[in-house]
Structure 1
Amino acid sequence: MNKRNNLLVFILTFGVFGILNTEMGVIGILPVIAEHFHVSISKAGWLVSLFALVVAVSGPTMPLLFSGINRKKVMLLVLGVFVLGNIVSIFTSNFTILLIARIIPAFFHPIYCSLAFSVAAASVRKEEAPKAVSKVFIGVSAGMVVGVPIASITASATSLQMAMVFFAIVNVITFIATLIFVPSMPVQERLSYGTQVSVLKKSITWLSIVTVVLLNSAIFGVYSYFADYLKTVTNMSSNSISLMLFLYGGANIIGNIVAGKLLTKNANKSVISYPLILGAVYIIFFFTGQFTLPMAIITFIWGILAGIGGNITQYWIMSAAPKTPDFANGLFLTSANLGTTFGAAVGGLFISEMGTQYVVLVGILSLILGLLTILLRNYMYSYTKELST
Structure 2
Amino acid sequence: MKKYAYIGCLGFMAVITTEFGVIGILPQIAEHYQIGIDKAGWLLSAFALIIALTGPFMTLLMSGFDRKKVMLTAIAIFLFTAVISAMSPPFWLLMLVRILPAFLQPVYIATALSVAVSGADQKQANKLMGIVFMGVALAMVTTVPFATWLASLWIWESSFIVQGAVSTVALVVIYCMLPEMPVKEKKSYKSQVKILSQPTFIISTAMNFFMITAWFSTYSYFADYLNKAKGMDGTMVSYMLFLFGIIGVAANWIAGKMLSWNVAKTTALFLSGTVMMPFLLYFSGDNLPANIISIAIWGFLYSPSFQNASTYMISSVPDSLEFANSLATSFGNLGVTLGTTLGGWMIVAKGASYNPWIGFVFGILAFLMIILRSILEKRTEKQKIIFPCQ
TM-score, reference length from structure 2: 0.85
Matches within 5 A, 1:334-373: 334-348=330-344, 356-373=352-369
The CA deviation string for residues 135-186 of structure 1, in whole angstroms up to 9 with x for no partner, is 2222123335643443345557676776544433322322222222112223
> Unaligned stretches of 5+ in structure 1?
none
The CA deviation string for residues 276-315 of structure 1, in whole angstroms up to 9 with x for no partner, is 4653454343333343322211211121111233321111
Of 40, 52, 69, the match for 2:34: 40
Matches within 5 A, 1:1-389: 5-29=1-25, 39-42=33-36, 46-89=42-85, 96-122=92-118, 124-144=120-140, 146-154=142-150, 164-276=160-272, 279-348=275-344, 356-388=352-384, 389=388
Moved more, 93-102 or 253-262: 93-102
CA distance in 2, matches of 1:321, 1:327: 10
Q: Is the 8 A contact 1:82 1:105 kept in 2?
A: yes
Q: CA deviation at 1:62?
A: 0.8
Q: Provide the identity percentage.
A: 35
Corresponding residue SS for 1:320: coil
CA distance in 2, matches of 1:275, 1:382: 22
Q: CA deviation at 1:6?
A: 2.4
Judging changes above 3 Å, is the alpha-carbon distance between structure 1 residues 124 and 148 closer, same or farther for their aligned structure 2 residues? Answer: same
Corresponding residue SS for 1:59: helix
The CA deviation string for residues 330-372 of structure 1, in whole angstroms up to 9 with x for no partner, is 1111111122222334445555666544433222222222111
CA distance in 1, matches of 2:111, 2:312: 17
The CA deviation string for residues 57-99 of structure 1, in whole angstroms up to 9 with x for no partner, is 2221111111122211211222233334444455685655544
Judging changes above 3 Å, is the alpha-carbon distance between structure 1 residues 155 and 281 closer, same or farther for their aligned structure 2 residues? Answer: closer
Judging changes above 3 Å, is the alpha-carbon distance between structure 1 residues 248 and 121 closer, same or farther for their aligned structure 2 residues? Answer: same
The CA RMSD over aligned residues, in Å, is 3.0
Kindly tell me the number of residue pairs found equivalent between the two proteins. 383
Q: CA deviation at 1:15?
A: 0.7
Q: CA deviation at 1:116?
A: 1.9
CA distance in 2, matches of 1:270, 1:139: 19
Q: Is the 8 A contact 1:221 1:347 kept in 2?
A: yes
Judging changes above 3 Å, is the alpha-carbon distance between structure 1 residues 102 and 244 closer, same or farther for their aligned structure 2 residues? Answer: closer
CA distance in 2, matches of 1:168, 1:136: 20
Q: CA deviation at 1:46?
A: 4.8
> Unaligned stretches of 5+ in structure 2?
none
Moved more, 155-164 or 192-201: 155-164
Corresponding residue SS for 2:315: helix
CA distance in 2, matches of 1:33, 1:352: 17
Q: CA deviation at 1:225?
A: 4.2
Aligned residue type for 1:259: A
CA distance in 2, matches of 1:272, 1:149: 28
